[in-house]
């Protein structure tokens, strides 16, 4: 069943569409949430916009810098650490303060239980052929769901690359107690470059990644994306375009180029309640002889963030739908693939000390496909400790 692991989670969430992250491979996601699992304006954009303002300061462009500082404070609700940096630059007349940003580290450890770690299918039978050549095939136990406890460990870092970009790198490993053949290790690296177009900030991100499944090389990924934050209103919109190339050294017929374009919005409904959502169109170009050929479809995500008794509570739903351009296997499986993956999740986050958090995440995956081999259902529950420095 490993051929069905079409993306490895860390890179798919981190670099394909950091803002439109309806997840492609839900069963690999028993891990502490990636950056886009917290509100977008807080987790992704504010750092790059602040870096952009500091660049203006360093070039002596005080007017531009002060305008961006003002926009950050008024429109992005920055955390105290950002406000401290802004205050130092403003009080020094835009001269470099004594503050010197260091490498930012994130460490996460945890574990949980997954009811279907291998994406075992829902049916025991499958029809091959058509018409007079139709045959019903009974599928063996190897296709059934396998439950497993799992453990996750990961570390990632971000750091300045001179005055023009931010570097990012990370490594993560998930170990499955009942199915070590699906133990997943991922290594990623990337560069983020902020920019301004029509006085509105954005960012360019380039990433590469590698995944090992069961200790063997499984997937190589290169990705590029552009996000543009459309300021100028109380609740800004965010545009996103991204493209990701997948290479499978042991299964080259699965190689593909996935491109998507979409838009996001986040809005505060009350002082402690925010809603967010987005929609993206996608096109998945088969680079070799992948069964079914090219795919096209869309993804939608809706969610809510609220706070209760020191817990940040975030329920969300992701829906991914696509159709293939050709029948899956002429003469054998004469069906055009139509796939829908629905993911419902609930994430609870609570600070336990300065720079430390506990995260509880429950997730349900439900995949329906016109080819029964790709229909599955499962859920997972994980508890994680996260440290940030």
Q: Does domain 2-44+105-388 have CATH number 2.40.160.40?
A: yes
Q: How many residues does the chain have?
A: 389
Position 114 scores a pLDDT of: 97
Please, is 134 exposed, middle or buried when counting C-beta atoms within 10 Å of its C-beta (0-12, 13-18, 19+)? exposed
At which residue do the structure tokens 């462009």 appear?
61
Domain ranges of the chain: 2-44+105-388
β strands within the chain, DSSP E: 104-114, 125-128, 135-138, 148-161, 165-176, 184-197, 200-213, 216-230, 237-247, 256-270, 273-286, 295-308, 311-329, 333-353, 356-369, 376-388
Query: Distances in Å between the alpha carbon of 185 and those of 11, 175, 176?
Result: 11, 9, 11
Phi-psi domain of 234 (left: phi exceeds 0; alpha: psi -120 through 50; beta: other):
alpha
* Residues near 174 by beta carbon (within 8 Å), at least 6 away in sequence: 28, 30, 31, 150, 151, 152, 183, 184, 185
Low-confidence ranges of the chain (pLDDT < 50): 1-45, 98-100
Position 52 scores a pLDDT of: 66
Task: Give the Cα-Cα-Cα angle 108, 109, 110 (nearest 5 degrees).
Answer: 130
For residue 214 the two structure tokens come to: 């069961």
Position 25 scores a pLDDT of: 30
* CB atoms inside a 10 Å sphere around CB 214: 14
- DSSP label at 11? H
Q: Which residues pair with 126 in a beta bridge?
A: 137
Position 55 scores a pLDDT of: 66
| Maximum pairwise Cα distance, the chain | 83
Contact indicator for 338, 323 with CB cutoff of 8 Å: yes
How confident is the model over 355-389, as pLDDT tens digits?
Answer: 899 999 999 999 999 998 899 999 999 999 999 87
Of 135, 136, 134, 112, which Cα lies nearest the Cα of 123?
A: 136
Position 166 scores a pLDDT of: 85
- The pLDDT mean for the chain works out to 80
Position 329 scores a pLDDT of: 87
How far is the C-alpha of 281 from the C-alpha of 320, rounded, in Å? 10
| pTM for the predicted model, two decimal places | 0.76
SS3 of residue 325 by DSSP: strand
Query: Distances in Å between the alpha carbon of 314 and those of 30, 37, 299, 385?
Result: 16, 9, 19, 17
């Amino acid at each position: 069943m490993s051929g069905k692991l079409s993306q490895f989670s860390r890179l798919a969430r981190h670099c394909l569409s950091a803002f439109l992250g309806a997840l492609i491979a839900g069963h690999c996601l028993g891990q502490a949430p990636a950056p886009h699992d917290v509100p977008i304006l807080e987790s992704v954009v504010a750092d790059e916009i602040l870096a952009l303002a500091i660049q203006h300061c360093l070039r002596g462009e005080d007017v531009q810098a002060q305008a961006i500082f003002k926009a950050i404070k008024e429109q992005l609700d920055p955390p105290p650490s950002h406000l401290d940096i802004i205050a130092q630059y403003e009080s020094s007349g835009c001269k470099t303060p004594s503050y010197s940003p260091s490498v930012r580290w994130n460490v996460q450890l945890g574990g949980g239980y997954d009811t279907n770690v291998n994406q075992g299918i829902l049916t025991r039978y499958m029809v091959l052929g058509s018409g007079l050549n139709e045959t019903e095939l009974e599928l063996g136990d190897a296709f059934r769901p396998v439950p497993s406890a799992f453990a996750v460990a990961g570390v990632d870092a971000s750091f300045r690359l001179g005055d023009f970009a931010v570097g990012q790198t990370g490594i993560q490993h998930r170990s499955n107690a009942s199915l070590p053949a699906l133990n997943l290790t991922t290594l990623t690296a990337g560069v983020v470059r902020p920019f301004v177009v029509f006085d509105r900030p954005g960012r360019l991100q380039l990433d590469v990644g590698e995944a090992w499944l069961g200790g063997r090389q499984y997937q190589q990924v290169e990705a590029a994306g552009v996000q543009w934050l459309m300021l100028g209103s109380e609740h800004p919109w965010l545009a996103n375009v991204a493209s990701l190339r997948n290479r499978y050294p042991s299964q080259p017929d699965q190689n593909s180029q996935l491109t998507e374009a979409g838009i996001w919005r986040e809005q505060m409904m009350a002082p402690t309640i925010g809603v967010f959502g987005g929609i993206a169109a996608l096109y998945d170009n088969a680079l070799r002889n992948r069964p079914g050929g090219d795919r096209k479809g869309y993804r939608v995500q809706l969610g809510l963030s609220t706070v209760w008794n020191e817990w940040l509570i975030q329920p969300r739903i992701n829906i991914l739908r696509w159709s293939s351009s050709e029948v899956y296997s002429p003469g054998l499986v004469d069906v055009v693939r139509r796939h829908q993956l629905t993911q419902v999740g609930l994430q609870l986050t609570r600070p336990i000390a300065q720079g430390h958090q506990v995260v509880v995440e429950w997730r349900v995956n439900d995949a329906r496909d016109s080819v029964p081999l790709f229909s599955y259902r499962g859920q997972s529950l994980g508890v994680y400790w996260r440290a940030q420095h």
